[in-house]
Chain A
Amino acid sequence: MQAALAQQAFIHISTQDGMGLSSNTINTIYQDKKGFIWVGTSNGLQRFDGSKFVQFSTGLEAIPYSSLTQIIQLDSNCLFLSFPTIKEFGIFNTSKSTYKKVGLKTSMELRPRTDPFIWKASDGELYLDLHRYGVLHYSKKENAFIEDNPFPFPKGWGQGLYATTFEDVVKKQYWFSGDSGICIYNKPTHEVWTRNYNPQHIAILNNSKVQDKITELYIDKKRRIWVCGWPGIGGQVRYCLDSNGNYLNKDTIGLNTGPVGYSEYRRFYETRKADFWISGLGVLYKYDKKDQRFNYIKSNLSIDNIGINYDYVFQVMEDNDGAIWLATDRGLYFTSVASSSYAVINILFDNSKSTTSITDILEMPNGNFWFTSWGQGVKSLDKNFNTVANHVYDQKPKKKDSVAFLEGVSKMTWCMQRQSSTGSIFIGCNFGVLLVHNPTKNTTEYLRPAIFNNSTIRYITEDKQGQLWFGTQGGRLIKYSNNQFTLVQEIGSIIYKVFIDNQGWLWLATHEKGFFAIDQNTGKVLQHYTAGKERNNLYTNTAFDIEQLNDSIIVVGAGALNFVNKKRQTIRLLKYEDGLPSNTVERLRVDKKGFLWIITANGLSRYNPLTNAITFYGSKDGIISAEQAKSADYVSSQGLLMFAGSNALVVFHPSIFANTQLPPNVTITDFKLFNTYLPVDSLLGSGAVKLRNDQNSFSLYYAALSFMQHDKLSYYYKMEGIDKDWIKADKSLYINYSLLPPGKYTFKIYAENIEGMRSQNITEIIVHIKPPFWRTYWFLSVLLLLTALAIYSVYTMKVNKLLAVEKIRTRVARDLHDDMGSTLSTINILTAMAKNKMSTDAVRTAEYLGKIGDNSQRMMEAMDDIVWSIKPSNDSMQKVTARMREFATNVLEAKDMDIKFNIAEDVLDIKLNMEARRDFFLVFKEAVNNAAKYSKAETVWIDISVQNRKLILCVKDNGVGFTADNADNGNGIGNMKKRADGINGRLDIHSKEGEGTKIRLSVPLG
């Protein structure tokens, strides 16, 4: 049995993985505080979120698609980038996705091969080492590297500089390497020490082997000085010295087992746990603290899929979880700590000459492990998994037996069981051959009981009573008790496994015959489950393995996982569709905590009966080729789980996968609007993603940026505003939202690991889809306000109209009462008086009748005025002036007075309302009447005009005039004033005795 302990497993990410890596030449890697891995490739800058690479090369100043060799954090938002092939440097703002070039101001022209190396000092200053030129300093003010470094190099020393400055933070020193050896700048004293000026007597400066052409320098946490150089033609020299100049040869054990041929040590790297890595051209070493030596790490062909291949390892980086990332010229590699500490033991067997097919495992009382194998017989490993001898075959078959046959068949071992009462090992083989080995006496019996019917013994187990049970290829269940074999049941097909549950029932996993429960006392079939389309059927009739979860549930690996409730005789299936990695379950084993470990065609998984969750474990977890370990399983007395099969053995303690770390907070990695990725940092920085109402379909990409836990996390999300409850996300790491109605939404997400622990914080992002303005509440409020105003206006108009009608009715009633009522009363009285005097006094009667006639006439005129004023057809000023002219003519001509009636043209355009028209006319009438009655004038002038938006009526005569004393203050002038007031007009009366009278009415318009 030639076993090889597999080195730690490396996950390889390349351009062919479909994750978007732009080049397999990875020059540099950097992890930011959020956990994103930034990658500098030969095609520029990319960001990796665990599932995809995003290329950054947009903006006004685009990031070049050129070889990016250094990524250095400038501040929390900015990365400093170096593109040496095009001699370009730049600053990339990750939150704004903007790029700004950085200048390079040198006083001399750069020589060819002036390789740049940027380094950031602990005080935050950036420096640029230019090979064969010198050190430049980054000036923020000028946004350029300029020649103002503070290092007082000896004359000419800088030109021989190699681009690998190291800062000794402990002693506040900068160590430069170059053609002239080592140069140390001591910051506290601002001195530079070289081999020519060494006031502190630093041993390494005086070391004769490190005087010239030093290329690499590194001081590790143990204060060991690692020096590489090219002093001559012998290739690179490498030294490890202490501060006194002593060579630490013990500390470099293993380094000489590296590559044959040309190689360069270029980088030294220490992890937080002080794991030490050396990388470079053809070189990758890791110091093994346990073995106290360096291991050279490079894959060999047999374990190619989990190893690392490279010509050049450019950088080693430890991420936030302690996992190691390697930038190589063959792609990006990732390796977990679990595998590096050998918490998982992967033993792979060289199958170049013969196949090692392990069929069963048994732990011996001394801690050794025995393995049955088909073709190679029983093999043994000690508890440290080193090969040890066993004595199973020391004793040969007896001569009376078919020696050759038995010797051959006894190597075709399938199963074994230790009889607890005797300590003997029963080993089942092909053709019904059974070996009974006594490990104390090292004797072996070669049996071939007839009851096995020459059929291969596929499984042996022991019950609580110490009885052994055998299952055969031919389908026989045989009991061995009291040194006698008994046929208990004849199934008729291969019995792969015989399992005895805690109630003592025997469960048989068979080939195409289903799954049986047998009463061990009577041998009767208690329960039998087969495949079928109905409920409570197995997934398939062929079952390979059986385990018991609790008193009721027996789990069977028959295609999928079949959970048989033996009390209810029901079966629940857990299939690929439900999260099982494959519907080909090969092995099952329950660990001491009750978790069910499963080997399927797709490797190792764990089933948690409490959460019904399946967790996959692969090479990222240190599990290599578990899919090969499908023939045997075992739990050791120490709790180690063991799975074995064709050329593979996987051993681990389940507790190493117990996760005590909280899952990291989930990061929103991308926001895709329709088909366009938006700069997510910028969106998140603004507090909310604000979208127009037509930008309502988008995808949110997320990830918990822990590459160790990545595959074992479940995500739960909720879009507040849509979802009422948390939703478990699928494995796609993005959520699509389509045609969301306008509104403010809060997307919340958290991660949960397999232990049920949740991220410390729930990640939130506010998405605001703005509604069109006509669907906003404020706009609806404005509409409501305007509507209320409109309703109020309509209401007010209606009320005003009613009031106007009311006013007219009141006015007409008042006019009728005032003008007619009193006149009719007078007529009535006069009529009565005339009646009384009619027979006695004809003169008085005639007088009365005359007065009755005058009153009637006046009443008719008043009536005419009222009707005229109400009539809508008289609304125009033409009608008003025509009536005025008619009235004046009738009245004044009857008195032989001349009339000068003048109406301005613009008067005719004026509109007066009914009341104003009437009052205006009545003032005029009164004025004309007065002129006719009292003025004794020869001529009366009547002017109607418009002045300053006022309607002016002027009635003037050249009559006798009057004074205030003799003026009639009765109804005449008083009425005129009252009516003038009624239309907000002003009445001016000018009169003097002998000088005529002028009455002027001014009525404001509109």
Chain B
Amino acid sequence: MTRFISQKLRFYSFVCIALLLFVHGYNLNETYLQKDSLVNEPLTFTTFIEYFLANGVLRFRLPLLFIISGYIFALQDQRPYAERIKKRLVTLIIPFLIWSAVGLAITYLFQQFPVTAKAVKDAQLDQLGDNRPYNEIGWGGILLRWIVVPISYQLWFIKSLFFYNLLYPVLKWMVLKYPRIWFSIVSFLWIIGFGIYLIEGMGLLFFSLGIWLCKNNYPLDRKPQWFSSYVSWLFFIGLSVIKTFLAFELENDGSNWHSWIFILLYAGSVIAGVMAIWFSTDRLVKWCMGRKWFIWMAAFAFVIYGMHVPLLPYAIRLSCRYFYNVPNYRLVAYIMVPLMVMFFCMAFGALLRALLPKVYKLATGGRGF
């Protein structure tokens, strides 16, 4: 792996996580956007932008993160499997437990004051649908929310990643032995939205793709001859725009034909987006990675990732309630609140790293030192 590729991987790891805040920070009436979600509210500049970003163009993040993860994991084949898994326990599972507990603690703290407690209730983050104060749900409920269904729901990614790391030998064998069959199967699983707890189509496909790219020494630093930046950006943005307009203009008539259109648009946009982003932003990557402040910020990617939920949904609810008389408050909240939460997380990370470096290391799995 060249130095530039390494820089690129770090750059996109941070960018994908930073953009995650804009995916989780929308304030549409539809509180849980899925790839085929329709929007039952008027199309305005604000609602368009929120859907376009949160459920359109920014959908490339997770596939890219899975590719990067698969690629990096496959690079370390020379190390024994057990050792690697042991390391993953430290870098994935312990941070999972820590940040899940942090999410619970933040929620509990918010539940203690009437104003913030209302924000907790309105955010409806609890994956079990029981948004009662934690005083009322008991230790069993707390334990369940800590380990199985964290209030920081974004942590499913690292749990899922750990599972793919465990499955790595199988995945590698399939990828190298029967690449066509394997990729056909996992692509199909991705398209149909297959998912059972930790195994789901998207992760399998793109983690496998990362392995394949690594093991075939695919020249990631060279733009393929057939690749056209223009066409890939056109499809990336164009399909996302079409999908966004469709989301506002189509109506759920009980049939799921619209879902298939959305899934195809989503898949096309993600594929075009991943390629457009990877192959045509080298100058931006070089510029950013040449700046100290960017490197400093990128070091806190994991803190942002671990901490932004539930902080962000609560902050969004509070800002919408208290600043509703500010013109275009929804759009302002959508842009400003994620940025503020991101800076807060970075500040928190910087403080933690400075004051309690060992704790920081444990919480981030050693990332950002």
Contact = CB atoms under 8 A, between A and B. Distances in A.
Interface of A: 687-688, 690, 721, 744, 746, 768, 770-771, 776-778, 781-782, 784-785, 788-789, 792
Nearest to B228: A792
Interface string B79-92: 00000000000000
B249 A778 contact: yes
Give the interface centre of A690, A746, A781, A784 by most chain B CB atoms within 10 Å: A781
Nearest to A778: B245
Contacts of A777: 43, 245, 248-249
A781 B243 CA distance: 9
Interface stretch (B69-77, B234-242, B288-296): B234-242
A781 B231 contact: no
B230 interface: yes
Nearest to A686: B251
A785 B242 contact: yes
A746 B246 CA distance: 20
Contacts of B228: 792
B42 interface: yes
A778 B242 contact: yes
B328 interface: no
Given A721-B42, A776-B249, 14 more contacts: A687-B40, A744-B43, A770-B249, A777-B249, A778-B242, A778-B245, A778-B249, A782-B242, A784-B238, A785-B239, A789-B231, A789-B234, A792-B230, A792-B234
Chain B, interface SS category: helix
Contacts of B230: 792
Nearest to B41: A744
Question: Which 6 pairs from chain A and chain B are nearest by CB?
Answer: A778-B245, A777-B245, A785-B238, A781-B242, A778-B246, A744-B42
Contact of B245 (A687, A688, A776, A789): A776
Interface in B34-93: 40, 42-43
A754 to B, nearest CB: 30
12 contacts: A721-B42, A744-B42, A768-B251, A770-B249, A777-B249, A778-B245, A778-B246, A778-B249, A784-B238, A785-B234, A789-B234, A792-B228
Interface in B84-123: none
A710 B70 CA distance: 70
A871 to B, nearest CB: 33
A789 to B, nearest CB: 7
A722 to B, nearest CB: 13
Interface string B213-255: 0000000000000001011001100110110011011010000
Contacts of B235: 785
Contacts of B238: 781, 784-785, 788
Contacts of A687: 40
A632 to B, nearest CB: 55
A781 B245 contact: yes
Give the interface centre of A746, A778, A788, A792 by most chain B CB atoms within 10 Å: A778
B interface residue count range (under 10 / 10 to 19 / 20 to 34 / 35 or more): 10 to 19
A761 B85 CA distance: 59
B280 to A, nearest CB: 15
B237 to A, nearest CB: 9
Nearest to B249: A776
A189 B112 CA distance: 51
Interface in B9-49: 40, 42-43
A834 to B, nearest CB: 53
Contacts of B245: 776-778, 781
A469 B231 CA distance: 99
B268 to A, nearest CB: 11
Contacts of B242: 778, 781-782, 785
Give the interface centre of B235, B239, B249 by most chain A CB atoms within 10 Å: B249
A762 to B, nearest CB: 16
Nearest to B239: A785
A300 B189 CA distance: 84
A743 to B, nearest CB: 8
A250 B231 CA distance: 96
A781 B247 CA distance: 13
Contacts of A746: 42
A292 B246 CA distance: 71
Contacts of B249: 770-771, 776-778
A687 B252 CA distance: 12
Nearest to B265: A778
A198 to B, nearest CB: 52
Contacts of A784: 238
Nearest to B248: A777
Give the interface centre of A687, A771, A777, A792 by most chain B CB atoms within 10 Å: A777
A205 B241 CA distance: 81
A642 B239 CA distance: 76
A789 B246 CA distance: 20
A781 B240 CA distance: 10
A769 to B, nearest CB: 12
Contacts of A782: 242
Contacts of A721: 42
A548 B231 CA distance: 81
A777 B234 CA distance: 17
B270 to A, nearest CB: 16
A768 B41 CA distance: 10
Nearest to B246: A778
Contacts of B246: 778
A782 B242 CA distance: 7
A781 B249 CA distance: 13
B40 A788 contact: no
A206 to B, nearest CB: 56
A794 to B, nearest CB: 13
A688 B40 CA distance: 9
